[in-house]
Chains A and B, each alone.
Chain A
Amino acid sequence: MAYDYAPFPYTPPLGLTEPEQRHAIVIVGAGPIGLAMAIDLAQQGVASVVLDDNNVVSVGSRAICWAKRTLEIFDRLGIGERMLAKGVTWKVGRNFHGDKQVYAFDLLPEPGHKYPAFINLQQYYVEQYLAERAQDFPDLIDLRFLNKVTNHTDHGDHVALSISTPDGNYTIETNYYIACDGAGSATRKRMDLPFEGQTFEEHFLIVDVEMETSPFGNHDTPERWFWFNPPFHNGQSALLHKQPDNIYRIDLQLGPDTDPKEEATEEKVIPRIKAIVGDTPFRLDWMSVYKFRCAKLDRFVHNRVIFVGDSAHVVSPFGARGGNGGIQDVDNLGWKLAAILKQDAPASLIESYNTERVHGSAENILNSARATNFMTPKSPIEALFRNEVLKLAADHSFARKMINSGRLSQPCNLATSPLQTPGDAPILPGFPIIDAPLEGSNVTTWLIAEAQGQFTLVTASPTPLPAIEGINRIGINQQADYPCFISVGGHAETRYGTDKIYLLRPDGHVCAVFNTADPIAIKAAQDRALGATT
């Protein structure tokens, strides 16, 4: 059944009738990134106003692949379990050359993780769940639909915004302006910031079809199928993925010389789908024709204006690094903004968001651009090498590894950032928390559920953890006057070792490791992660 796009209610904002007090944070854009940002801040007691020029969730499935790390972040934001319950979990990907399978991969993670490697879930569900979760914070999240920002000016210590609504125009001021207004960011355009990178000339047709019969044939579990030179389509590539509600995502590469308007019509699309699914009845749910771009801003922080998600960086979709990259931005920025506003950290901590996420998005762009280059050969010689790789792959494993239909999103390693204190441990400083099943007084839980959201010391060693203000403690296989859990299945010991103490940032990244419970060293590492200048 087609998704019901119920509009969100509009209420005339206060600013239309009387001046509003200066806000701490205004978030522009109520897509998945803007909503996640508001929830992250609200969970830390920080109020925000969220402005959106629209009043419905995103039309069409758009971002559908949510990676494990993203789900762990959404778990912290309160919608991870709901996403997992509704989403389609998949782990097997198959790459075909013509009608022959050349390479398959299995993302089946080792056991002992709350979330799988990937789920597929339409962006509109994620936005709906986030919008509903935002309702849990009526005093902290002021959601204003049909409020379009028409101008903004940075005055050094605050930003002034002009906003238009169905009832007229008004202005507000904010200490921080968070631009979550997407790939076509009006904020970025107003500021005339260069958004440079690589544009790919190929057009891709993206179609969602609803059908009862699985096109995966005998494979009952949903998979990711990718074809180079598909037998059913006169083009370079095709991708098939399952979403909830029996909706299947089909991507077809159309080549550079097609007319996108002509291609995005039922007359053109239906025969293309029939070529894949045969006589199976289906319903067209959504379609769109795209050209892809990999581009980013040089800087994501421009004084009081901070860019988050697609407004800061765009990637081609192969690798699922757009939405997943944006959520990692939110995860990185939320605790820093909250610490600055609560005066637990200097305002300069915001610069580390710039450093860490410019680094993360560069990694995403590199991987997405490489995949798209492999899929869209630009010259006869590129096409020749691509085809010979595919031929060799049938017999030789080294060539299978060169086949690139998208290197799927991985959590970012922040080892090079100055916030981390270098050290040696099974999980190195800079890497995110690795999940493990735990048991505490008759409840089964997960490390990611217990340890994220604040600075936390975690250990699976017998060493008692010192009490330090502003740092939570979690002991594994210990008994103490702070939260302690029993490791289930030995996963925590294997993943964390039994002789190390970890200090996690609120976003779950390891910022320091210790061999001894030295409170001075631990406090120094926390200060460093909070951007203290020594």
Chain B
Amino acid sequence: MILEDNLGPDSDAFYNALMNTHEGLTEAQSHALNARLVLILANEIGDLKTLTALLETARRS
């Protein structure tokens, strides 16, 4: 699990891209999009140990 900066110069660009992805959606639509995003990212990571660590970190914050 990487919790130090891993996006380098692209942090701002990613954050804006994420906001743009939600633009114009109702709250319910945004929640659904986020759920899909979590599922897609999980498959991209593909490693249960890493994913479990990420889930626990998110839960703790």
Contact = CB atoms under 8 A, between A and B. Distances in A.
B53 interface: no
Interface stretch (A192-200, A263-271, A314-322, A383-391): A383-391
A340 interface: no
Contact of A385 (B35, B40, B43): B35
A104 interface: no
Interface residues of B, number: 8
Nearest to B28: A384
A162 B36 CA distance: 60
Contacts of A387: 32
Nearest to B37: A388
A105 interface: no
A392 B32 contact: no
A388 B31 CA distance: 10
Contacts, number: 24
A387 B31 CA distance: 12
B35 A384 contact: yes
B39 interface: yes
Interface in A350-397: 384-385, 387-389, 391-392, 396
B39 A384 contact: no
Contacts of A402: 39
B32 A384 contact: yes
Interface residue SS majority, chain B: helix
A399 interface: yes
A399 B32 CA distance: 15
Contacts of A392: 36, 39-40
Interface in B21-35: 31-32, 35
A179 B56 CA distance: 42
A129 B43 CA distance: 47
B38 to A, nearest CB: 8
B43 A388 contact: no
A384 B43 contact: no
Interface in A140-193: none
A273 to B, nearest CB: 33
Interface of B: 31-32, 35-36, 38-40, 43
Given A387-B32, A398-B39, 14 more contacts: A384-B32, A384-B35, A385-B35, A385-B38, A385-B39, A388-B32, A388-B35, A388-B39, A389-B39, A391-B36, A392-B39, A396-B43, A398-B43, A402-B39
Nearest 4 A/B pairs, CB to CB: A398-B43, A388-B35, A388-B36, A385-B35
24 contacts: A384-B31, A384-B32, A384-B35, A385-B35, A385-B38, A385-B39, A387-B32, A388-B32, A388-B35, A388-B36, A388-B39, A389-B39, A391-B32, A391-B36, A392-B36, A392-B39, A392-B40, A396-B40, A396-B43, A398-B39, A398-B43, A399-B39, A399-B43, A402-B39
